[in-house]
Amino acid sequence: MSIDIPIGHGGEVLEVSRRDLKENESFVFSILNDEAVPLWVYVDIALEYWKQGLRHQFEEVVRTGLRRAPREAGPVEQKHQVLLLNLLASYYIETAKSLPADSEYANDNPDRLTANQCILQATELLNEALSLDNQDVYAIVASGNIRLVRREYDEASNSFQGALSRDSTCVPALLGEASVRCLKGDFDKALELYQKVLSIKPDLQPDVRVPIGICYYKLGATTQSRKALERALQLDPNNADALILLAILDWNVCRGPEAVSDDKRRLSTSANAKLLKVYRTNKRHPLLACQMAYRKLLRKEYTECIRYADMVLQRTDVTRLRAEGLTCKARALQAMRKYNEALQLFEKAAALDPSSVSILYGLAAMQIFKGQTENACQTLERILQKEPQNTEAMMRLVSLYAQMPTRRTTAVELFDKFSRSSGGGHSLDTLDSNKDEDAVDDPNVLIDVGRALESASIKRSASLYRRSLEKLQARGIQIPPELYNNMAVLHQLLAESTEDATRKSVENIKDGVQANGSTDANSEPRTKDELLISADKFYNLALSAANQSDVGDGFRRAATMTKATVQYNQARLLEAKGELRQAVDAYKQILEQYPAYTDARLRLGAIYCDEGRFEDALEHFKLVADADPQHAESRLLIGRACSLAGKRVEAKRAFDSVLKSIDNQNIYALCALGNVQVGLARSAARQDPKERDELIVRAHRLYDAALKHDPKCVQAAIGMGILFTEVGQLRDAYTIFSQVEQATGDLPSAALNLAHILLALDEKDAKIAIPLYEKALKKGFGQDSYVLQSLARAYYILARERKDDAAMHSALQWVQKAAKLNPSDAAIFFNLALVKQHMAVVLNDQPIERRNLAAMHRATEGIETAEKIFTALASRDPEHRPNYNITHAMHRKTYCKDVRKLSEKKIHETATLERQREERKERIREEQRLREEQKLQKEREEQELRRHQEEERERRRAEIQAKLQEDMARSRQLDEEEKEMEVNKRKSKGSKRVREVSPSDSDNEPQKNDKRRRMRKKADQKRANTADDSDGELNEVNPSRTAKRVGIRSNLSSEFVEDSEDEEEVPNSPKRQDPENSGEDDSQSGSKRKRVAESDQENAQASSDERLSHNGTPVESEDDDVHFKRPRLSKGTKAAVEDSEEEA
């Protein structure tokens, strides 16, 4: 194929082969320079040079076309001129992309332009193109590319979108917008744009399938990414980008945890082959150099790694690629222990790619190594902002926070957050060994967090130490002696903070220790003694671990210091157990081995000081102070010992030396010196009031200075309150002490001073002051006789004010305890006698009905004791200046006699009243006894009466029952006789004999019937009476329930029924009857008799059932007469009746 070049205006055309452009370079340029060639020819030839990779020739052709462009070109020429400007601008932009921003463009650019200079050139060309045609799409796209190179992504996107609004299928604009989306991390949108470009121009070069594969990889679709890259490689087997990216994919699979050894070998070989192919075709490819740098880094070929990393930095200006190159080089330098250079490169890499977590983590590691803790925390915080669940960064940040005193709370909160997010579900307040701490696998992190919690929560700190110890044991790692030592110290602190630690308070500290150092979950310290024993075991384990560490090289000095520390802590443990003699021996042994161990010497002096051996204590303190004149603690202890020994001047000198020579802001020295000034002011109050005021002013300045340096200094605040008390400003002192008490809550001195102020303001507040004194005793002054006397005084004031003998008794108990603690203090015995004396006075002043005779006798005995004490105190020599008033003792001695006389009188009155009261009580008890006996006798009589009544009822019930049984037997006999009569009647009827009724029979029959009726009525009446008696006596039958009438009401009159019910059957009268009706009558009478018989049978059964109630008692009928049997009329009987009527 050739290029047709028009020459002149005669239509002559010169053909130039496209393949021979490089060989015919001079010929082509001579034509372009000498002949009047249209601008589109320059565009065509320049593009052909670009395709052949002849960049310099491309630039020369474009520049020649721009020089030959007419000044006033027509629309067609102007369009080609704009196109040439865009081509040259794009050329500079691509050149800038391939150059580092800080290097010169020396190889291919004769003007030695840098990347920034190329961008400036491109900007000028685009401005010129836009001045010719501000609607040109390609010029707008080129301006967007410039902004893209400048990393002005939002402005670049606006340019690309503006170009797409004019031409939605503009491929350069689509590619530019896709690039912006990739740089912003919006790979979904970028993938959509690249796919659109692929659909518009499938044969675009460079192949757009490569960025499509990258987008798929970023979105996690590794399979689609591999397919896209393999397709690009099918179309162009030499596509370097596709080869390198496929090699990276293979390499990542090789390094994955799921890869099999055969797959690893195969994929590694494939990746190496691809990289080798790229290396043979394009050695200068920056991505290839980056991969080679990583390979060399893994092989620990650090020099080669640095060389390839430098190639990356020289051959590309792509931000992320340059950041990778810097990271590789930094890690190589770090491995070579060139830490300063490595730190600088990590900082540059993080500035280029701040979104890379691996770069930030490497930077944080170097910052930690260089001691830049604050910068490392900020770097790790940036990582957690991008990846909140990054375990390594979070744990590293927790460790750093734990080492910073101001951020230890943050460390605990972050540790809690990680524990909850890891499935533990608990904060450190409810730490469980199998949940929260197991989420943290790094024992060093547990140790750091435990160290951060040592001051905040001893129990939680011990729990974390224990978990770290278990993890180290599980991994077979040697336990450092420091860990055992810290565990022991925490148990010792727990023992000191409680007298009886319950199971709940140590539920997270399962620290039974076996001989080999492992923990025993079944052993759990519950009491102070058990905690101290556990601490001792851990100290022994620490010594064993230190002796094992001593064998290794490089740890001898550290192990020696560790052993000395453990021995010192064991001596402190002996102090905690109260074994002071053994503790002194332990300190002496330490000083023999390590004479320069100042802490042991100071503790030994402190023990001597507490025992009152002030000279021995001062000797040890001065040895430390002489060895190190700048040792503030030794001088402070010297001042304390002198102050306790009463040497206030020497104490003042020691505290002054600290403030003047060592630390003028030492809080303890300021407060202690202020206390000394207050003591000196009290001593000078009587002799020199002016000096007293000066001393108080000095003390005020010292306390004020301490509060300025530490506004929360409690001792300085208490000292200030004491000063206000000394000058009489009690309200101000009360305000200070109440604020201190509210702020601290557990400080005994604050409670003690507040109680003093309350009593000084108003003795009526003694009831409020008493709990404060008791609190001071519980919190630290339990063995202080002064505090005991103060509490006794408060009870004494309360008892005297309210005339309360119980309060006075409490005052007596507390002052007796004070006397036992300090038997040499005469003032305490004066107060003891005074309380005993007032005990009697209070009892005497009580109303007579409230007096207790036994208490008054005890008070009388106490008066005798008080009189003896006052006598002894009054006989003391005033020259010895006792700490009480002898005159008052003499007056009290005299007053004891008056009180004793009054007490004896009150005892007599009370005894008389008690005797009368007892007599009255005895009379009342006797009356009560008599009433009780009468009541019991009445109850017994009532019970006897009820028993007799019950027996009578039972007897009568038995009689009634016997009568009922007798009546029932008689009734059954009558029923049987009636049945026999019925049977006889039926038999007589069966023989069909008709007997005429004679007058004599008629006369005899009524007599027999009357006799039967009388017998029947007599039996019925007897039964009725029996039923009435039973109802009246037993009350067992409800009167409202009566028996129903038996049988069917008859149409006959009662008289007729009574006359005929027992008549015997007689034959029919010889009355003439109609033959036809006779048969009918017979049939009717037979059926009637059958119905009557059935009805009679049913009624007889019902009658027998209704005769007795449920308890066998007869039931009354609704009528006066009770009918047990319905009267029966036979046919013969009826006929006989009719005959009798006719006769009448």
User: How many helices and strands, by DSSP H and E, does the chain display?
Assistant: 46, 4
**Alpha-carbon span 161 to 1034, nearest angstrom:** 117
Q: Is residue 561 in a domain?
A: yes
pLDDT for 216 equals: 93
Q: Is residue 492 in a domain?
A: yes
Tokens of 366: 């170097």
**Alpha-carbon span 171 to 164, nearest angstrom:** 9
Q: Is residue 560 in a domain?
A: yes
Looking at the structure of the chain, the number of domains it has is: 3
Q: How far is CA 60 from CA 14, 55, 600, in A?
A: 20, 9, 88
pLDDT for 582 equals: 92
**Residue-number span of the structural domain to which 744 is assigned:** 706-911
Same-domain pairing of 711 and 573: no
What is the secondary structure of 1074-1126 as a DSSP string? -HHHHHHHHHHHHHHHHHHHHHHHHHHHHHHHHSB-TTS-B--BSSSS--SS-
H/E run at residue 522: none
What is the largest distance, in Å, between two alpha-carbon atoms of the chain?
A: 191
Distance of CA 54 to the CA centre of its chain: 72
pLDDT tens column, 71-116: 656 677 778 788 888 888 888 887 877 666 554 334 444 455 777 7
Q: Which of 861, 881, 911 represents a domain boundary (last residue)?
A: 911
- Total Cβ atoms within 10 A of residue 29: 15
Q: Is residue 834 in a domain?
A: yes
**Alpha-carbon span 111 to 90, nearest angstrom:** 18
Yes or no: say if 1042 and 1116 are a contact pair by the CB < 8 Å rule: yes
Tokens of 162: 């503006």
- The half-sphere exposure of 402 on its side-chain side, counting CA atoms within 13 A, is 23
Nearest residue to 722 (alpha-carbon basis) of 766, 684, 757: 757
- Residues of the chain falling short of pLDDT 70: 1, 8-11, 70-74, 98-112, 257-260, 420-440, 455-456, 498-526, 549-559, 879-881, 990-1144
Structure letter (DSSP) for residue 114: B
- The label of the residue with tokens 């503030």 reads 632
Nearest residue to 890 (alpha-carbon basis) of 902, 873, 878: 873
**Alpha-carbon span 444 to 400, nearest angstrom:** 11
Distance of CA 154 to the CA centre of its chain: 46
Phi, psi of 784 (to 5 degrees): -100, 115
Q: How big is the chain, counted in residues? A: 1144
Q: Which of 846, 880, 911 represents a domain boundary (last residue)?
A: 911
pLDDT for 849 equals: 72
Same-domain pairing of 727 and 876: yes
Give, in degrees to the nearest 5, the angle at Cα 32 between 28 and 38. Answer: 125
**Alpha-carbon span 5 to 18, nearest angstrom:** 12
**Alpha-carbon span 509 to 492, nearest angstrom:** 13
Same-domain pairing of 572 and 718: no
Q: Is residue 877 in a domain?
A: yes
**Alpha-carbon span 521 to 453, nearest angstrom:** 23
Q: Is residue 282 in a domain?
A: no
Same-domain pairing of 567 and 710: no
**Alpha-carbon span 768 to 747, nearest angstrom:** 17
pLDDT for 294 equals: 87
Q: Helix, strand or coil for residue 362?
A: helix
pTM: 0.51
Q: Is residue 573 in a domain?
A: yes
Burial 812-842 (b: 16+ CB within 10 A, else e): bebbebbbeebeebbbbbbbbbbbbbbbbbb
Q: Which of 911, 929, 949 represents a domain boundary (last residue)?
A: 911
Beta bridge partners of 16: 3
pLDDT for 403 equals: 78
pLDDT for 1085 equals: 46
Same-domain pairing of 575 and 713: no
Q: The CATH number of the domain where 760 resides is what?
A: 1.25.40.10
Rg of the Cα trace of the chain?
62
pLDDT for 140 equals: 86
- In the chain, what are the helix, strand and coil shares in percent, each to the nearest 5? 75, 0, 25
- The label of the residue with tokens 């043979």 reads 280
Q: How far is CA 477 from CA 469, 513, 538, in A?
A: 10, 18, 18
Q: Is residue 756 in a domain?
A: yes
